[in-house]
Amino acid sequence: MIECILSKNTEGLTGEGCIYDLSSSSPTISQPEHLHPGDYVKLRLWLLEENVCVFVELAEVQWIKNHWINVEVLSASPGDQARLRKFASVEDQSSLSSRRKYDRILIHA
């Protein structure tokens, strides 16, 4: 599981957080090097501006480089999808790219 504080900019969503290895009875903090493209992870995203947390049940790791992890959101509840979409929304809603910025998240861990 990756837990992070989410922020937004003109390029999309970014987060600052930690990776937790939940495979044992006592969770430990892990390093990005233990992830690989194609791995599936869960995300807990804190939206400070909204004062809420969004839970992503399934995200796929796209790439990892220098403690940066790019993930694609695959599955979240309809309510969490709506909160994430609203958080990611930008002024220009006319293009597909601006409407879909919530699908990819760049996380520093």
User: Each residue of 67-89: pLDDT tens digit?
Assistant: 999 999 999 999 999 999 888 88
Regions in the chain scoring below 50 on pLDDT: 91-92, 94-96, 98-99
pLDDT at 90: 56
- What the block records as the tokens of 61 is 């790791």
pLDDT of residue 98: 46
pLDDT, averaged across the chain? 88
The DSSP output letter for 1 is -
Neighbours of 65 (CB within 10 A): 8
